[in-house]
Amino acid sequence: MYIVKAQEMQKMDRQTIESFGIPGRVLMENAGRGTFKMIMDLFPDISDKKVCVLCGRGNNGGDGFVVARYLMEKDIKTDVFLLSSRDRLKGDARANMALVEKLFAMEGEKNGENKIIQIPDRDSFIKYKNRIIHSDFFVDGIFGTGLNSDVRGFFREIIDLVNKSRKPVVSIDIPSGLNADTGKSCGVSIKASATASFAFAKPGHILHPGNEFTGRLKIIDIGIPRFIAEKNTPKINLVEKKLVRSFFTPRMSQAHKGNFGHLLIIAGSTGKTGAAALAANAAMACGTGLVTLGVPESLNPVMEPQVTETMTFPLFEKKKGFLSEKALDQIIALSKGKTAMAIGPGIGMEKDTGHLVKELIQTIDIPMILDADALNLIADYPDILKKKKAPVILTPHPGEMARLTHSSSVKIQDSRLESAKKFAEKFGIILVLKGAGTITAMPDNRIFICTKGNPGMASGGMGDTLTGMISGFTAQKISCENAAIAGPYIHGTCGDFLAGTRGGFGFTASDLVSIIPETIHELTAGVD
């Protein structure tokens, strides 16, 4: 599913109106009618409710007037509030306001005050506050996707009032107060039960915390021609089951382990052997033909019992339990015949290990996945990535991303899309920014957002399993791009299954590894 930013949507609207010739009023009619149909489908008992439609003075309010008109035609008791003075409305919004006024005029005193109620200021809001709060259902058409500054004045009070009412709310295009591009609240935001988005979803619907304000999301077709959408192909995509399924092909009956790649993992240090084992076991569980785990030589006896199906190889160490730069030639030799390499889970932060990682990035000529300590070891030298000999995938969490960019976790979280996009483009790598709404950014500016996963996965070792899965898919010669998309989706799907069957927390990374095969089977079997 494509996801478009506010300016991209405005551009497509404009091209539809100006170049193709569909009037803006037709698009507005389609938007309002589609929203009305969604309301009737999701809330079949609305006929018995008193509905409050809140309209701003822009096109979002115009859509609200269309919704109000359809509600009134169904004899649903409807109050319509214009959060402005009527003389400030223009164009299609003004035309649709006039149609609602005609309906009120024809209905006389049937609904009490037979007119659109104007609330241009706080005094007017105070006057009608009691009437608003006694509504049973709200339609939010206050602000649209163009909002990018904090909500102020009586608008803030109205949004607070609606939220405190705890009544059902349907938002038009996006919950008012939510930034359509980032999902951040502009001071205060409507918490919707459901949202009707027009033509495409917006990043703010999907990214945290916007997903929590959006409620149930439905995409409404308003008539944007397909060729206009294709001409302006969005760069942001929502990862869906159908897409991930397309990455996998059935295995031939004559297949053997050599057909499914050989992954080399460089991982582990004193106290962190579990990270190495989880990565290796996850890679095996996702179908990799062969996995070799390179670890500090003193830890090899410890590792072997933890990874029964994985081969291990003892590597030179300088300090006991930590890899030495002298292991470089060993690893180069080991990499021959391998189809991918993962570096980082539990590898430690020794200076000599850091030298080794930097040398490997500049030397190894097979796809490479860098995670955990490997990212921290190059945090002060990110330009080393420009010297890579093969495709590189980075899988940082926000803290690691902050170190790589010399920023802070808060800033990274406030601009997840832009942070991931800029870094991937600058260094020509694929970046998987983990967290709620994992973002996979490609070096050509394409972005994929994965909404799978849950807070129960916030426990030790989950990142190591993801590294193993992405690396394993890459080793199987699924493209680096597709592996970086499939990994988070299947990883999150496993986590969601565990949360649904074992409770919201307490399941472990090992539990997740155990259900990887059946999760992939369910995905590839074509069961929706």
CATH fold group of domain 241-250+259-524: UDP-N-acetylmuramoyl-L-alanine:D-glutamate ligase (3.40.1190)
User: Which strand (E) or helix (H) includes residue 517?
Assistant: helix 516-524
Q: What is the DSSP string of 37-51?
A: HHHHHH-GGGGGSPE
Other CB atoms within 10 Å distance of the CB of residue 333: 9
Supply φ then ψ for residue 73, to 5 degrees.
-65, -25
The pLDDT tens digits along the chain (528 residues) read 889 999 999 999 999 999 999 999 999 999 999 999 999 999 999 999 999 999 999 999 999 999 999 999 999 999 999 999 999 999 999 999 999 999 998 876 554 567 899 999 999 999 999 999 999 999 999 999 999 899 999 999 999 999 999 999 999 999 999 999 999 999 999 999 999 999 999 999 999 999 999 999 999 999 999 899 888 877 999 999 999 999 999 999 999 999 999 999 999 999 999 999 999 999 999 999 999 999 999 999 999 999 999 999 999 998 999 999 999 999 999 999 999 999 999 999 999 999 999 999 999 999 999 999 999 999 999 999 999 999 999 999 999 999 999 999 999 998 999 999 999 999 999 999 999 999 999 999 999 999 999 999 999 999 999 999 999 999 999 999 999 999 999 999 999 999 999 999 999 999 999 999 999 999 988 655
Mention every residue, 6+ apart, whose C-beta is less than 8 A from residue 300. 312, 313, 314
Question: SS3 of 2, please?
Answer: strand
HSE-up (13 A, CA, CB side) for residue 278: 22
Question: Which helix (H) or strand (E) element contains residue 477?
Answer: none
Question: By percentage, how much of the chain surpasses pLDDT 90?
Answer: 93
CA distances (Å), origin 87, targets 95, 98, 355? 12, 12, 69
Torsion angle of the four alpha carbons 466, 468, 474, 477, in this order, in degrees rounded to the nearest 10? -130
Contact at 8 Å (CB) between 81 and 161?
no
What was the pLDDT predicted at 112?
Answer: 53
C-alpha closest to that of 443 among 484, 413, 403, 496: 484
First to last CA, the chain: 16
> Does residue 60 contact residue 196 with C-beta atoms inside 8 Å?
no
Q: Residue 393 pairs with which residues in a beta bridge?
A: 369, 430
Burial class (CB in 10 A: 0-12, 13-18, 19+), 294: buried
Q: 510 near 493, Cβ under 8 Å?
A: no
Find out whether 498 and 512 touch, Cβ atoms under 8 Å: yes
How many Cα neighbours within 13 Å face the side chain of 56?
23
| Cα 68 to Cα 31, 48, 104, 170, 242, distances in angstroms | 12, 15, 11, 12, 37
Q: pLDDT for 343-383, tens place per residue?
A: 999 999 999 999 999 999 999 999 999 999 999 999 999 99
Q: Would you tell me how many other CB atoms lie within 10 Å of the CB of residue 106?
A: 10
Q: Is the preceding peptide bond at 443 cis, omega within 30 degrees of 0?
A: no
d(CA 374, CA 157): 49
Residue 111, pLDDT score: 47
Tallying the residues shown for the chain, one arrives at 528
92 sits in the region (left: phi over 0; alpha: psi -120 to 50; else beta) called: alpha
Task: Using alpha carbons only, give the angle 120, 122, 126 rounded to the nearest 5 degrees.
Answer: 110
Q: What are phi and psi of 94, to 5 degrees?
A: -65, -40
β pairing state of 447-450 and 236-238: parallel
**Distance between CA atoms of residues 162 and 188, nearest Å:** 11
- Two tokens, residue 287: 């179908």
Q: Does domain 2-234 bear CATH number 3.40.50.10260?
A: yes
Contacts for 75-79 with beta carbons within 8 Å, 24 or more apart? 75/47, 76/46, 76/47, 76/49, 76/51, 77/49, 77/50, 77/51, 77/111, 78/50, 78/51, 78/52, 78/53, 78/111, 79/50, 79/51, 79/52, 79/53, 79/111, 79/117, 79/131, 79/132, 79/135
Q: Two tokens at 453?
A: 């996963």
Secondary structure, 3-state, 205-230:
HHCCCHHHHHCEEEEECCCCCHHHHH
Given the DSSP bridges, would you call strands 169-172 and 194-198 parallel, antiparallel or unpaired? parallel
Q: Are 267 and 346 in contact (CB under 8 A)?
A: yes
Q: Which two tokens stand for residue 239?
A: 């990862």
- Could you give the CA distance from residue 413 to residue 418 in angstroms, rounded to a whole number? 10
- Supply 63's token pair: 């859509």
Q: Which residues of 197-226 are buried (b: 16+ CB within 10 A; e: fewer)?
A: bbbbbbbbbbbebbbebbbebbbbebbbee
Helices (H), 397-479: 398-405, 409-414, 416-427, 462-475
Is 84:56 a contact under the CB 8 Å cutoff? yes
Give me the residue spans of the domains in the chain: 2-234, 241-250+259-524
